[in-house]
Structure 1
Amino acid sequence: MRVIFAGTPEFAATALAQILAAGHTAPLVLTQPDRPAGRGMRLQASAVKQLALQHHIPVAQPLSLRLDGKYPDDAAAAHAAIAEAKADVMVVAAYGLILPQWTLSTPRLGCLNIHASLLPRWRGAAPIHRSIEAGDAQTGVVIMQMDAGLDTGEMLLTGVVDIAPDDTTASLHDRLADLGGALVVRALADAQAGKLQPVKQPEAGITYAHKIEKNEAAVDWQQSAATIARRVRAFNPFPAASAQLGADTIKLWRATVEASIHNAKPGTVLSADAHGVRVACGEGVLCVTELQRAGGKRLNAADFLHGFALTPGQCFEPHHTHKDT
């Protein structure tokens, strides 16, 4: 089939690669404009754009698709490109722009979305992070027929994935990206054969995965060790859980939970050795096993402590923004 693909990050690029490998043609790719990235803050093409260029696929990078919005010229040019592509279907994965009705209805078979959660749980921008943060046992991918709502369309195919106790957003992302690519290829085959069977989303169990903000990174030691450990995993690799010790900001990359009872003030370092940095929490103890100083490398606890002295009794700064969950 002729498939317009709309997506931006690595999650989407994985799906585009599988669609092309399955023999479908992509007459057009839509992706976000190049953005500054890295230490030099140079403009960098998205993962999807890089893959599209490797395959000599035309790329459009509108700032908006709304003809009545802030960037009508961008939207009009995209409108023309989409119409000219004469696509059978559009596949959308982590694109980052809202699709207006004209976009949804232009391709013959409409728009299919690859969404990384078990809808209707975790509609919205950050379903992988939020599923880990909430302590969900499972998540997955839904291929959805898009409508004008926020992830409200009918479900076409579903795949389920167990969330392992040590899964981070990075590790879970990669498994879900592979699953999403495989499922959308199946959905395209079913669409081609007229075999798609749309199912309405349940009314019960709707939750929203709000966008991850940088200010969520700061650890609140009043929370339980279990809650903090989930947040450490959910915010790996972005924005990375962090704690303040005097003038030093320390990122926490890996941590385990100890159900120890203590009388220390939350945030107090109980011990620091090659096995980890044990910190008192509102309930239980967090044992941090991988850390990073500002400007430094991610290190296991043993290597980190060679260059940064942590002693029992020291206390990380309090932070009271988040309630326990």
Structure 2
Amino acid sequence: MATSLNIIFAGTPDFAAKHLAALYASEHNVVAVYSQPDRPAGRGKKLSPSAVKSLALEHGTPVFQPESLKQTDAQEELAAIQADIMIVVAYGLILPKAVLETPRLGCLNVHGSLLPKWRGAAPIQRAIWAGDKFTGISIMQMDEGLDTGDVLLEKSMAIPGLATSATLYEDLAELGPEALIEALDNLENLEPTPQEEDEVSYAHKLSKEEAQIDWRLSAAQLARNVRAFNPWPVVWFQHNDQAIKVWQAEVLEALDEHDAGTIIKVDKDGIEVACGEHNLLLGQLQIPGKKPQSVGDIINGKPDLFIVGQKLG
């Protein structure tokens, strides 16, 4: 039987809450939870607790929400808990060296990639964006670098062909808790593996600017962008002075050459647009002020919105 550990858990969104739920269901003891301060949410912009805080309160676990862990008083407060280990999952705050060295067994991080690939803020999105065939979960011993610590355990999975960041996020939110509990239950037997620096890649944050379509790119890359940037920031293009979002798209072989951005065909199945290589079939769009709709529904209501031969911005 695994040694029961007293754990501080640090996390904020739903992805982290799924890992916290697994810890509550395990033989280990969650003695304290750290989460980011409550943020305004919803139409009323009322302060709302994170998914992690809500779950912790349901279980009667003390919750701490410092703005930073760099202050001495926050570090002393954490040290007073006297935990064996700290688990960090999508917390959103930097852990200074003093905090990393406070728990007896240090701090472990659950990262949504196969390190050293895709260190950084957006590993799930970047795996789809790059066309990777596999991704996974890494359980890492944290150090002062950005996802640079020794890897204790990895679990891999194939990326489904039509995966979006939203669906892959859910897949990894199931795989991650399994990997975390396995690592904790076998902690004494795990061999820390240093990351190979020559295999490092960085998962830089996404931006709305990056999500704007450049029709000169290949249709394959743009289709990956559509899936990678779903649900945020969502791929978009300019047309008739409107920013139109693209929720679904697929690659079509180009039978003839046209200037990138030219509309080749419009029907109920979608809008076929020429790209730098092959064509892109836009299947579901979102007009400003409207919900996402199929192209068939859009052209039924606005048959002149997209015309063959037009060039999209």
Normalising TM by the smaller chain, what interval? over 0.9
Please list, as runs of the form range in 1=range in 2, the aligned pairs for 1:237-252 lying within 5 A after superposition: 237-252=231-246
Q: 88-97 or 20-29, which moves further after superposition?
A: 20-29
Q: What's the CA shift string for 1:15-64, capped at 9, x where partnerless?
A: 11111111322221111222233344333322212222222222222221
Q: 1:247 to 1:58 in 2, by over 3 A?
A: same
Q: What's the CA shift string for 1:122-150, capped at 9, x where partnerless?
A: 01111011111011111111000111111
How far did residue 93 of structure 1 move? 0.9
- 1:184 and 2:188 aligned: no
* Structure 2: runs of 5 or more not aligned: none
Q: Which residue of 2 aligns with 1:293?
A: 287
Q: Percent identity?
A: 49
- Aligned counterparts of 2:61 and 2:302: Cα–Cα separation in 1: 50
Q: Which residue of 1 aligns with 2:36?
A: 32
Please list, as runs of the form range in 1=range in 2, the aligned pairs for 1:1-325 lying within 5 A after superposition: 1-67=5-71, 76-191=72-187, 194-309=188-303, 310-317=306-313
Letter in 1 for 2:35: T
- Aligned counterparts of 1:95 and 1:168: Cα–Cα separation in 2: 23
Q: 1:26 to 1:81 in 2, by over 3 A?
A: farther
Q: What's the CA shift string for 1:238-257, capped at 9, x where partnerless?
A: 10011111122211011100
Q: 1:37 to 1:308 in 2, by over 3 A?
A: farther
Q: What's the CA shift string for 1:283-325, capped at 9, x where partnerless?
A: 11101111111121122222232333322122221xxxxxxxx
RMSD (Å) for aligned C-alpha atoms: 1.5
Letter in 1 for 2:69: L
Letter in 1 for 2:269: H
* Structure 1: runs of 5 or more not aligned: 68-75, 318-325
- Aligned counterparts of 1:261 and 1:35: Cα–Cα separation in 2: 51
How far did residue 259 of structure 1 move? 1.8
TM-score, normalised with respect to structure 2 = 0.94
TM-score, normalised with respect to structure 1 = 0.90
> What secondary structure sits across from 1:147 in the alignment?
coil
Q: 33-42 or 149-158, which moves further after superposition?
A: 33-42
- Aligned counterparts of 2:79 and 2:177: Cα–Cα separation in 1: 25
How far did residue 77 of structure 1 move? 4.1
Letter in 2 for 1:165: G
Q: What's the CA shift string for 1:127-177, capped at 9, x where partnerless?
A: 011111011111111000111111111111100111122010001111111
Letter in 2 for 1:138: F
